Homo-oligomer: A and B are copies of this chain.
Amino acid sequence: MKNVFMIGLGLIGSSIALGIKRAHQEVVITGYDQKEVQDIAQKRGIIDQSALSLSDAREADVIILAIPIEATLEVLKELADLELKENVLITDTGSTKSEIVSLGQQLFAEKKVRFVGGHPMAGSHKSGVLAADVNLFENAYYVLSEDCPELRTLLSGLHAKFIVLDAAEHDQVTGQVSHFPHILASALVLQSDAYAQKHPLVKNLAAGGFRDLTRIAEADSLMWTSVVLSNPQEVVERIENFKAQLDDIAQKISSKNQTGIKSFFDDGKKIRQAMEIHKGAIPNFYDLFVSVPDEKGVVLQVLALLQQFSITNIKINEENREDIHGQLQITFKTAQELEKAREIIKIATDFEVA
């Protein structure tokens, strides 16, 4: 019988616990967090028992850290001072990997401890144990810094897609697709605000495109400060590289290079289209476009047909003509659901489905 020690019972830790239990009722999960949180988690059957202190981790076969990056680094050091079970498996869930995996390897090199870095790439706007969701990681990528069949098996109930990525590669990839974009979004907000001092209508005329570009600027600033400080080199490298991208297009604009500018926008469009919809390579980004008349009740009508599916987004793209296609854009969690939904709408309505 396996003993799992879950450090951190927020959204991630609690949801992982639920996922573990879904596939392995026999696993005993001990939770470690503030007392009030432990109580809630135990009452809700998320964990089986509450730890009195970190040293209860000595009983564990598997230790999972579901806490912020800085806390992860601290707790790993504390765990290294404990007399842990032989061949215990320790894993984390941090948004960056190099710093954590490097420390883990360092601390546990001489011990019979297996450390595997982890990063479940999913979440929700909600936080805390009350938001625990057994389906949180469904179809989400779960990165492991090295392959670990035991961990994959333990976490099979998460229904996540496990991929192995060494820590450095992980930080480079997430640096590009996640960390640097957060910098971009916030920088655009700050730039616009500064410009608004002399051009006040900046605050009024910002429309759909601006809104989408800057939405993630409202993310948790504490968390993002930690993430960026934990992956500084890659982020700065992406910033420098991006400046070169900007120089390139600025030069084309200054020299009125119409062909060059058109290629810039054409390539961006083509590549972006290929990234998302045609390949369906991004989990949870299965979009169906339905052309609907501008009448009341139409959205409800379409949604009523699709109640059995896991819809994550319904966008009635009230686009500025300077932005692009909207229509009714319905996002499903899986390709199969999208296809079924497409068929249903084709049969039950005369709405055009892209």
Contact = CB atoms under 8 A, between A and B. Distances in A.
A35 interface: no
Contact residues of A: prevailing secondary structure: helix
B308 A296 contact: yes
A300 B297 contact: no
A253 B271 contact: no
A250 B139 CA distance: 34
A177 interface: yes
A184 B199 contact: no
Interface string A111-132: 0000000000111111100000
A296 B307 contact: yes
Given A213-B213, A323-B216, A187 B246 contact: yes
B163 A182 contact: no
Nearest to A259: B225
A44 interface: no
Interface string A237-279: 0111111011101100110101001101111110111011001
Given A186-B265, A206-B177, A322 B273 contact: no
Interface of A: 11-12, 95, 121-127, 133, 135, 141, 163, 165, 169, 172-174, 176-178, 181-193, 195, 199, 201-225, 227-229, 232, 235-236, 238-243, 245-247, 249-250, 253-254, 256, 258, 261-262, 264-269, 271-273, 275-276, 279, 281-282, 284-285, 291, 294, 296-297, 299-300, 303-304, 307-308, 311-327, 331
30 contacts: A122-B321, A124-B317, A135-B294, A165-B201, A172-B195, A173-B202, A177-B192, A177-B202, A178-B210, A178-B322, A181-B210, A183-B249, A184-B184, A185-B209, A186-B264, A190-B245, A203-B275, A203-B279, A218-B268, A218-B324, A219-B265, A219-B322, A221-B262, A225-B258, A229-B261, A232-B256, A296-B307, A297-B307, A299-B311, A312-B318
